[in-house]
Structure 1
Amino acid sequence: MLPNSSRTYHDPLHGAIALDNSDPTEALLIRLIDTPAFQRLRRIRQLGPASLTFHGAEGSRFTHSLGVMAIARRVFDRIAKRYPQVQPHRPIVLCAALLHDIGHGPFSHTSEEIFGNHHEAWTRRILRESAPVRQLLDSFDPSLVDSLEQVYLKKYPVPFVWQLVSSQLDCDRLDYLMRDSYFTGASYGKLDLDRILMALSYDPVSQQLVVARKGMAAIEHYLIVRYFMYAQVYNHPKNIAATWVLEQAFRRACEQFALGGIEADDTVTAWLTQSKLPGEGSSLSGAPVKLLPLAHYLAADDGVLTYHLQRWQHCADPVLVDLCRRFLDRDLLKALDISSLNVNEQEHLMQQVSIRLAQAGFSATHYAGIRVACSRGYTIYQRGIRLQSAAGLQEISELSPLVKTLIQPVKRAWLIYPSEIESSLSNFYPKLNSA
């Protein structure tokens, strides 16, 4: 790279995201973006298998991470002009925003459901153990890795810093709500980003991220958008069904691999047989296993796992063949809303489904189950959202009746089952509707 060269990323949401190589912090960001660990995020979809439901949901963790950094820089630089005492924290804020998702596994959050890994823990491990990333951070500031870990654990001594990255009103959520709305076509997910960012401020006494009282309406809108995105996009029944099929395919693959029934490359072999972090202790099959090496974690992406699903369509196990085919051809299972049934009725329904599956020649273990999805617009944790008022800092739910209603979680229970038994199921519970 030439000494004075800059870097510009043209983003559909934020326009030109320009990084200036003459700025030491932004020069570091350019080099971090160029590391293999960060470039890997290009190969991981932001919304996992949601493109099977929303065909435009093809965006990657790479584009999202750049967007979070762009928003964080915009907020921080504006506030730092008024409160210059926060300026020394700029490298920490921007690096934390850029790298916050570097630990995501294949299919993003879906791999956490399937394999039990946690991307936050892998992010911290990558910062410490991935040589290209660690060397860049250490050469800039030997204490930077420790500071970033404090941010991700919400232990950084200045709350404002970690709140910009991970809180009820952070740059991560602002970007993913806007980005996911844009790519899924969910028009109710549009945010007035300018108004929200103008409302954000810094309280020098508590050192917190706060919101100006006049900005409450913009924050209320943001929280409503978040609620609808969870209810209508993230917890969409087709997403739940797609995740179920993917999970069952890899669970069956683990069983077959242990029996010698299928083959896998070294990377997927490690994912099927080894735990992801110390203390997790078991593979998909439940057997005690060894720690997954970082190299195998970083070698896995959407393409690697999808390639194996394609290979396993030709194995000898009919269950695995069918599960892989269903996911790849989008021949998904059905999702039936059974939220109106009590627990006993749900269990009884599941028993009837198991009987019907057995009669139709299906394995109830892999082809049916109950999934519960929870949608909530606002949760009071990690200091919540504080508004500036004449009485001092106040929790937003104390001032907004609308936000208070969003605190209540809305749970929906979904029965997952194959369409082959749908007619008999509708006869059993005719008032329930499938999606």
Structure 2
Amino acid sequence: MAYPVEKLREEKVFKDPVHRYIHVRDRIIWDLIGTKEFQRLRRIKQLGTTYLTFHGAEHSRFNHSLGVYEITRRIADDVFHERPEWNEDDRLLSLCAALLHDLGHGPFSHSFEKVFDLDHEYFTRAIILGETEVNKVLLTVSNDFPIKVAEVIAKTSKNKLVVSLISSQIDADRMDYLQRDAYFTGVSYGHFDMERILRVMQPGEDQVVFRKSGMHAVEDYIMSRYQMYWQVYFHPVTRSAEVILTKILHRAKDLQKQGYCFKSDPHHFHSMFNGAITLEDYIKLDEAIVLYYFQMWQEEEDPILRDLCRRFMNRNLFKYAEFDPAKEYKKLAQLSILFQKAGIDPEYYLVVDSSSDLPYDFYRPGEEEERLPIHLLMKNGEIRELSRESEIVDAISGKRRTDHKLYYPADVLKDNSTAKEIKEEIRKLLEIDESRY
């Protein structure tokens, strides 16, 4: 039997808390799951530092990737099957792209990307097209199959329908992570009627469309996403952990540049510090490796690195205050000077962090990030953009919400054994309630 259509002798299933079962019948999917590059995703948390806020958020990108695959499989095998607009030859491409879409994520990926100027999408493509086990499996389909999969994930493929399944404003990726993240964090915000959405979904000419009768389920999905971003993904305590994590990496990078002699040499980071990380080095990185160094760096001579690592490992996080950079930039400058006078390095201990999200947008040609709108299929066959039919979606469409917080070490400011008067002035500026001390 030809490899692209070869089936396993017996269906494999993964027991899953979100989808109940994840079904694998295709030999290529089973082989891809078994590659070392895909197994690496078991060692990378889906939600980064969120486990320090919601203790159940220990699930991995491996879990999520299987979930995206399962939703895509259900769409291809149950929803789109035998529809004239759907090309059955695109089934395997869709399943592989769904399974591998997060392959290039690194440990605590967004922090790593910011500090070391990395791009997980670049590494996803590099793993798929490089000398890897994943690439070898994909090549057994055809010589150009790895390129086709990489193009779908990168949204550069000419096959817009398949791209929309994996990456759009309502896709298999988002439908899985909203439900999965809600389940593992224990919140109710991310739940929506996915079964109804799948029932009203159908292939369009170049993207997925939804019958008008299912509009309310789509509205519910969009509001679920909105709530998850502000109640979970942008939770200020999670952001505090992210701030400290980022500052640890910055400090280690700066110390390396200064020629600092680490007690525990960070040899896993050398190529990143030098700005020349190889694919081989990148694949070796996971969160166990990173946390090992954070554990060891608690004993370093450098007081800043030592303190930041102890804070992260023991969850002694920074506190935060509401902050408006447009109106309070003078206060920030004043605080920075006072921190320096008090012997507290503002570069590492006075941090502005901003969170921003656009819950839904219609098509705006020429925008830096062009968003494919959600289209409704009316009874008369007309295609209508969602916000033109939904008052709820219209109310939030195109409206970006941004939140700013100022993070600082409250325990240090509480300690009046040194620089007492300066710290009192800092606390007043930060409007910290003195009665708490």
What TM-score does the superposition give when structure 2 sets the normalisation length? 0.88
Q: 1:208 to 1:375 in 2, by over 3 A?
A: closer
Larger deviation: 399-408 or 209-218? Answer: 399-408
Residue aligning to 2:165: 164
The offset of 1:15, in angstroms, is: 0.9
Q: 1:68 to 1:3 in 2, by over 3 A?
A: closer
Residue aligning to 2:375: 386
Amino acid at match of 1:15: R
The offset of 1:77, in angstroms, is: 1.5
Residue aligning to 1:418: 409
| Pairing 1:19–2:24 present | yes
Amino acid at match of 1:301: D
Residue aligning to 2:107: 106
Residue aligning to 1:151: 152
Q: 2:321 aligns with which of 326, 329, 336?
A: 336
8 Å Cα contact 1:45/1:108 also seen in 2: no
8 Å Cα contact 1:357/1:421 also seen in 2: no
8 Å Cα contact 2:152/2:159 also seen in 1: no
String of CA shifts for 1:63-92, please: whole Å, max 9, x gaps: 000000000111121233241542110010
Residue aligning to 1:116: 117
| Pairing 1:359–2:341 present | yes
Determine the C-alpha separation between the residues in 1 that align with 2:154 and 2:300. Answer: 43
String of CA shifts for 1:157-203, please: whole Å, max 9, x gaps: 23110100011111000000001111111212112110111121112
Residue aligning to 2:37: 37
The offset of 1:156, in angstroms, is: 2.4
| Pairing 1:374–2:373 present | no
8 Å Cα contact 1:14/1:67 also seen in 2: yes
| Pairing 1:271–2:272 present | yes
Residue aligning to 1:224: 223
8 Å Cα contact 1:47/1:108 also seen in 2: no
Determine the C-alpha separation between the residues in 2 that align with 1:130 and 1:215. Answer: 45
Residue aligning to 2:292: 307
Q: 1:120 to 1:416 in 2, by over 3 A?
A: same
Determine the C-alpha separation between the residues in 2 that align with 1:101 and 1:209. Answer: 21
How many correspondences in the alignment? 407
Q: Secondary structure at the match of 1:140?
A: coil
Q: Secondary structure at the match of 1:188?
A: coil
Amino acid at match of 2:395: T
String of CA shifts for 1:311-343, please: whole Å, max 9, x gaps: 1111110011001111111111112112xx461
Residue aligning to 1:406: 396
Determine the C-alpha separation between the residues in 1 that align with 2:117 and 2:53. Answer: 24
RMSD between aligned residues: 2.1
Determine the C-alpha separation between the residues in 2 that align with 1:192 and 1:130. Answer: 41
Q: Secondary structure at the match of 2:176?
A: helix
Residue aligning to 1:137: 138
| Pairing 1:350–2:332 present | yes
The offset of 1:267, in angstroms, is: 2.0
| Pairing 1:187–2:185 present | no
String of CA shifts for 1:354-391, please: whole Å, max 9, x gaps: 13322332101111121111133213344311111236
Q: 1:427 to 1:72 in 2, by over 3 A?
A: same
Q: 1:431 to 1:359 in 2, by over 3 A?
A: closer
Determine the C-alpha separation between the residues in 2 that align with 1:406 and 1:265. Answer: 46
Amino acid at match of 2:23: A
8 Å Cα contact 2:201/2:210 also seen in 1: yes
8 Å Cα contact 1:168/1:384 also seen in 2: yes
Residue aligning to 1:7: 12
Q: Secondary structure at the match of 1:77?
A: helix
The offset of 1:252, in angstroms, is: 0.7
Q: Secondary structure at the match of 2:299?
A: coil
Amino acid at match of 1:410: R
Q: Secondary structure at the match of 1:414?
A: strand
The offset of 1:294, in angstroms, is: 0.7
Larger deviation: 38-47 or 236-245? Answer: 236-245
Larger deviation: 408-417 or 168-177? Answer: 408-417
The offset of 1:427, in angstroms, is: 2.2
Amino acid at match of 2:133: P
8 Å Cα contact 2:335/2:429 also seen in 1: no
Q: Secondary structure at the match of 2:138?
A: helix
The offset of 1:238, in angstroms, is: 1.1
Amino acid at match of 2:67: G
Gaps of 5+ in 1: 21-25, 275-290
Determine the C-alpha separation between the residues in 2 that align with 1:32 and 1:342. Answer: 47
Gaps of 5+ in 2: 1-6, 363-369, 415-423
Percent identity between the two aligned chains: 35
The offset of 1:145, in angstroms, is: 1.1
| Pairing 1:317–2:302 present | yes
What TM-score does the superposition give when structure 1 sets the normalisation length? 0.89
The offset of 1:431, in angstroms, is: 9.0
Determine the C-alpha separation between the residues in 2 that align with 1:13 and 1:424. Answer: 51
The offset of 1:17, in angstroms, is: 1.1
